[in-house]
Amino acid sequence: MELLDGKKISNQIKEEITETVAKMKERGEKVPHLAAIIVGNDGASLTYVGSKVRSCERIGFESTLVQMPSTTSELELLKKIDELNKNEAVDGFIVQLPLPEQIDTQKVIMAIDPDKDVDGFHPTNFGKMALDMSTFIPATPFGILELLERYKVDTKGKHTVVIGRSHIVGRPMSILMGRRGWPGNSTVTLTHSHTKNITQIISQADIVISALGVPNFLKAEMVKDDAVVIDVGITRVPDESRPKGYYITGDVDFENVSKKASYITPVPGGVGPMTIAMLLKNTLLARERHRAKS
Ligand code: NAP
């Protein structure tokens, strides 16, 4: 079994971006600028957005954090998005999800300028991804592709089973694994809560990508020998004995599944850190595109 070490690979990617940014500075060019909007005080969201902003600072990007109260109206958020769309200094921005219930998430995503949509959630970018056009690939699926590529995992002709069909992970992952090229050229089965015989389907998978958010869902007896196992799940399990009052776990029974898998991602330290690294990569891409246009 080989560990797909997202922490190590994400650090490599960040070093590569740091070097690129240092060269931009030497040439007197503007460095990439990422803005993040967060609405409300959700603990996990604040942690994610905080680490995205800190990562920007470490690698030499400029960053802006826009914090809005949980009572923010849809109109107020749309106005802020309009400001960021028009702000020439900002190359890309994200709106941290989930949003409070008074706000229509789809409306918000639609309001983001596709050229600044470094999360790759806008229908224009999602459509381009589905059509194999150059675009911003959503950071988590992009991170999984990068891990497969850097560990030279063969995907051609393999049966990939994706568990979960969210717009940010499962659905795009199923499209990307089935596209022409590498990583890709897989035969993909996309499963969800209504899938019948899911255990049997998973047992036929050469590659399993689990993105449902149910701790210990994927057990050793469900996967075939030498399967590649990608665990996207991140669940906070309350535990008073831990300093933070919780611990983080994925969807996979890592201890037992790792004995059968050929490659496996740990949680934490697998897909999670890759997601941030690829958001930074998308922001660099946004800067390069804006420079080319101006
Ligand atoms: P989500 O919106 O929470 O949806 C979960 C998906 O799993 C749905 O499609 C649901 O099916 C499916 N599902 C739920 N129970 C199932 C079951 N028993 N059998 C089969 N399918 C089932 O998905 P998400 O936003 O992609 O999040 C999934 C997990 O990934 C969460 O733990 C989240 O925290 C984590 N995540 C991690 C990262 C990272 O950077 N590592 C990034 C994003 C998300 P239906 O569609 O039928 O309801």
pLDDT tens digit sequence for 154-186: 999 999 999 999 999 999 999 999 999 999 999
- The band of 48, judged by pLDDT with boundaries at 50, 70 and 90, is very high
pTM of the predicted model as reported, rounded to 2 decimal places = 0.97
**Do residues 49 and 65 make contact, with C-beta atoms less than 8 angstroms apart?**
yes
Q: What are phi and psi of 67, to 5 degrees?
A: -105, 125
How far, in Å, CA of 28 to CA of 40, rounded? 37
Question: 19 CA to middle of ligand 1, Å?
Answer: 35
Q: How far is CA 160 from CA 30, 170, 174, 208, 210, in A?
A: 41, 12, 8, 6, 11
Question: 192 CA to middle of ligand 1, Å?
Answer: 9
What are the pLDDT digits (tens) for 198-209?
999 999 999 999
Is ligand 1 within 6 A of the CB of residue 234? yes
Helix, strand, coil percent content, the chain, rounded in steps of 5? 45, 15, 40
The residue behind tokens 């902003």 is: 53
Ligand 1 pocket, mutate which of 47, 99, 145, 166 (most atoms under 8 A from CB): 166
Burial status of residue 68 (CB atoms within 10 A of its CB: 0-12, 13-18, 19 or more): middle
- The band of 294, judged by pLDDT with boundaries at 50, 70 and 90, is confident
The residue whose CA has the least distance to atom 12 of ligand 1 is: 164
How far, in Å, CA of 65 to CA of 46, rounded? 11
Q: What are phi and psi of 45, to 5 degrees?
A: -65, -40
Query: Within 13 Å, how many C-alpha atoms sit on residue 9's CB side?
Result: 27
Is ligand 1 within 6 A of the CB of residue 169? yes
Here the tokens at position 104 are 């229509």
Is ligand 1 within 6 A of the CB of residue 168? yes
Residue 205: predicted pLDDT: 98
Ligand 1 pocket, mutate which of 49, 199, 222, 232 (most atoms under 8 A from CB): 232
How far, in Å, CA of 86 to CA of 252, rounded? 43
Residue 89: predicted pLDDT: 97
The residue whose CA has the least distance to atom 18 of ligand 1 is: 193
**Do residues 281 and 92 make contact, with C-beta atoms less than 8 angstroms apart?**
no
How far, in Å, CA of 234 to CA of 273, rounded? 12
What are the pLDDT digits (tens) for 103-150?
999 999 999 999 999 999 999 999 999 999 999 999 999 999 999 999
Catalytic residue numbers read 52, 96, 119
Q: Please determine, for residue 74, whether its predicted confidence score (pLDDT) is greater than 90.
A: yes
The residue whose CA has the least distance to atom 24 of ligand 1 is: 166
Q: Please determine, for residue 19, whether its predicted confidence score (pLDDT) is greater than 90.
A: yes
Is ligand 1 within 6 A of the CB of residue 174? no
Q: Please determine, for residue 61, whether its predicted confidence score (pLDDT) is greater than 90.
A: yes
Is ligand 1 within 6 A of the CB of residue 218? no
Q: Enumerate the β-bridge partners of residue 66.
A: 37
How far, in Å, CA of 136 to CA of 128, rounded? 9
Is ligand 1 within 6 A of the CB of residue 192? yes
Residue 104: predicted pLDDT: 98
Is ligand 1 within 6 A of the CB of residue 191? yes
How far, in Å, CA of 39 to CA of 74, rounded? 11
Ligand 1 pocket, mutate which of 45, 109, 167, 234 (most atoms under 8 A from CB): 234
How far, in Å, CA of 103 to CA of 215, rounded? 29
How far, in Å, CA of 170 to CA of 186, rounded? 15
The residue whose CA has the least distance to atom 42 of ligand 1 is: 140
Q: Is the peptide bond before 123 cis (omega within 30 degrees of 0)?
A: no
The residue whose CA has the least distance to atom 17 of ligand 1 is: 193
Whole-angstrom Cα Rg for the chain:
19
User: Once rounded to an integer, what is the mean pLDDT over residues 185-193?
Assistant: 98
User: Once rounded to an integer, what is the mean pLDDT over residues 51-80?
Assistant: 97
- The closest of 194, 190, 200, 199 to 169, measured between CA atoms, is 190
Q: Please determine, for residue 52, whether its predicted confidence score (pLDDT) is greater than 90.
A: yes
